[in-house]
Amino acid sequence: MGVRFLRSMGLDYGDKTIGVAVSDPMGWTAQSKGVIRRKNLTDDLKELKDYIEEYTIKEIVVGLPKNMNGTLGKRAEKTKEFVNFLKKRLEIPIIMWDERLTTYQAEGILLEADLSRNKRKKVIDQLAAAIILQSYLDAKTKKEEEN
């Protein structure tokens, strides 16, 4: 067995789906990995654990959907409840990360790629998860470079 690298996982949590992205082993880039179709918290957790095991995840970054003025609305409160649920059941750090505009960024990227509305719907959540994770990784790298 070779060296096992630890990776970060990004999540875009929604009512119907959870977009999933995973970093490369060095923690430089985020790649979209799929979407969990929400059923219930127990099933959602099982699917997340499958990703954690498959990719040897060391931390999870969950997008926190703040309002443009920085306040927290209903969607953010649901996300915080989900994060608290995970924290009680997983033994790895879970970080909430400001995700303002990530869905708009993802939509813009997909429109630029000239994907049909139907194809955009299938990948928007996992692309948003990758944008959330990439933003976190970039900020973490910048902070490390400053120290």
* Mean pLDDT, 10 residues at a time, the chain of 147 residues: 73 95 94 95 97 96 87 91 97 91 70 70 82 92 81
pLDDT at 103: 67
CA dist 107 and 131 (Å) reads 11
pLDDT at 71: 84
pLDDT at 120: 64
pLDDT at 104: 65
AA identity, residue 63 = G
SS3 at position 31: strand
pLDDT at 2: 47
Angle between helical axes of 102-112 and 117-146 (0-180°, round to 10)? 120
pLDDT at 4: 54
SS3 at position 58: strand
pLDDT at 115: 67
Residue 47 exposed, middle or buried by CB count within 10 Å (0-12, 13-18, 19+): middle
pLDDT at 66: 83
Domain positions in the chain are 7-141
Query: What is the CATH number assigned to the segment(s) 7-141?
Result: 3.30.420.140
pLDDT at 8: 97
* pTM of the full structure: 0.86
Scan for tokens 């996982």, then name that residue. 9
